Amino acid sequence: MALIFAIETSCDETSAAVYDDQKGILSNVTYSQIEQHKPFGGVVPEIASRSQLEKINPIVKEALKQANVSLDDIDAIAVTKNPGLPGSLLVGLCFAKTLAFGKNKKIIGVNHLEAHAFSPLLEHNVPFEHICITASGGHTSMYLVQDLGKYTMISQTLDDAAGEAFDKIAKMLHLPYPGGPVIERLAREVDFQDFYHYPRGKNKTIDFSFSGLKTAVLYDLVKKNAYDMRKKQFLRPNDTQLQKEVASSLLVCITDIFKQKLALAYKQYPHVKAVTMAGGVACNKYIRKQLTEFCKKRGLSFFVPSPKYCTDNAAMIAFVGAYMLKQGKLSDYSLDIFE
Ligand code: KG4
Ligand code: ZN
């Protein structure tokens, strides 16, 4: 039996968790800074790391309290090492190293993307081998997941991430940050209809590309006299019908792109037993439903984490930390964010 304490501060969340490799997640406490970044339409790195410095101590204490354990009971401390915003990663990493040094605990540096890729296993017994789609504001990739800690990236985005496309197009429509949840809400109000049939992409390879879609939406808005390119301004902020129609067409288009790319991956790896999806975009109920149906038709199981484990969270870092501890993959105090 092993008890892992984890810290995750890669972007705009401050999260701490306790994971028991026999009983599962004992606590997962996350402070989200969304409200602080909203006025800027995206994450401001300086604000993110300052907020993390303020929050990390109380969040760590709360995670230990909720799990009803003390640091003395912990076997190892896991922490996100990269990729992420350097200032933010450093807050978590320095805090974790200090705790490990002070309490003489093992320390394990965890790759942020590996943690997302294995997050569906936090709550589900997912069979190997499977394909995992990770889609967040910073990354969109597919992995062939062979075993705990054994995975190969089979596809990535050539330009923007899927979440970034939601965020940038929401901004174009004068909608608040983050774009994904608001686009989903507006699309639901018009029953997820595909009004404008945006292009599904010229790139027929397994890799993703979303920047062309962003340009297509922009030019379509300009054509409709709804966007001023020079002033970079949406001209019909009160036209909620237009916002809903664009939102809905966009969501259907991005979902179709996921289906297309997944079909290519499945063709390449027909032996897989399941498909998973992780990262902030995996919170989207429409995408979840569509991919569930897609997989069902092909006799594949589909697994997604609960929303709190889709977005950045320390529970997924602890989960990876737990198997890395078993595999003897430990770090030392030279652990850095550029490894
Ligand atoms: O994983 P995450 O919390 O942070 C990183 O980027 O690492 O993902 C945030 C992204 C944002 O781009 C946000 O717009 C998107 O996930 N997102 C969604 C939804 N909820 C969050 N995208 C589509 N539908 C959602 N319901
Ligand atoms: Zn993430």
The predicted structure's pLDDT at residue 338: 86
What are the backbone dihedrals phi and psi of residue 158, each rounded to the nearest 5 degrees, phi first?
-85, -15
Residue 112: its pLDDT value, please? 96
CB 321 within 8 A of CB 4: yes
pLDDT at residue 311, as a whole number: 95
Ligand 1 binding pocket includes 84 (Cβ within 6 Å)? no
Measured from the CA of 170, which atom of ligand 1 is nearest?
A: 14
> What distance in Å separates the CA atoms of residue 87 and residue 89, rounded to the nearest whole number?
6
Quick one: which ligand is closest to 115's CA? 2
Residues 6 or more apart whose CB falls under 8 angstroms from that of 19 comprise 3, 4, 6, 25, 26, 315, 318, 319, 321, 322
pLDDT value, residue 190:
98
Distance, CA 236 to ligand 2 centroid (Å)? 33
Give the Cα separation of 300 and 332 in Å (integer). Answer: 40
Residues with CB under 5 A from ligand 2 (ion): 136, 312
Position in ligand 1 atom list of the atom nearest CA 162: 12
Name the closest ligand to CA 176: 1
What does the block give as tokens for 209?
């590309």
Residues 23 and 1: their CA atoms lie apart, in Å, by 9
Q: Which residues make beta-bridge pairs with 260?
A: none
Cα of 169 from ligand 1 centre, angstroms:
13
Q: With a 6 A CB cut-off, is 109 part of the ligand 1 pocket?
A: no
Q: What are phi and psi of 137, to 5 degrees?
A: -75, -20
In angstroms, what is the span from residue 62 Cα to ligand 1's centroid? Answer: 25
Alpha carbon 215 to chain centroid, angstroms: 24
Q: Ligand 1 within 6 A of 181 CB?
A: yes
Please say whether the beta carbons of 272 and 266 come within 8 A: yes
136 lines ligand 1 (CB under 6 A): yes
**Phi/psi zone of residue 191: left (φ > 0), alpha (ψ -120 to 50 degrees), beta?**
left
Q: What is the pLDDT of residue 307?
A: 97
What secondary structure letter does DSSP report for 125?
Answer: -
Which ligand 1 atom sits nearest the alpha carbon of residue 177? 14
CA of 69 to the centre of ligand 1 (A): 31
Question: Is the distance from CB of 95 to CB of 239 less than 8 angstroms?
Answer: no
Distance CA 89, CA 84 (A): 6
- For ligand 1, say whether the CB of 305 is within 6 Å of any of its atoms: no
Q: What is the full per-residue pLDDT of the chain (339 aa) written as tens digits? A: 899 999 999 998 999 999 999 999 999 999 998 888 888 888 899 999 999 999 999 999 999 999 999 999 999 999 999 999 999 999 999 999 999 999 999 999 999 999 999 999 999 999 999 999 999 999 999 999 999 999 999 999 999 999 999 999 999 999 999 999 999 999 999 999 999 999 987 778 999 999 999 999 999 999 999 999 999 999 999 999 999 999 999 999 999 999 999 999 999 999 999 999 999 999 999 999 999 999 999 999 999 999 999 999 999 999 999 999 999 999 999 999 987
Say whether the peptide bond before residue 127 is cis (omega within 30 degrees of 0): no
Q: Which of 36, 54, 66 is nearest to 95 (CA)?
A: 54
Nearest ligand, CA of residue 281?
Answer: 1
DSSP string, 157-169: BSS--HHHHHHHH
Cα 120 to averaged position of ligand 1 atoms, centre (Å): 16
Tokens 């397994």 appear where?
Answer: 206
Q: Is the CB of 307 under 6 A from ligand 1?
A: no
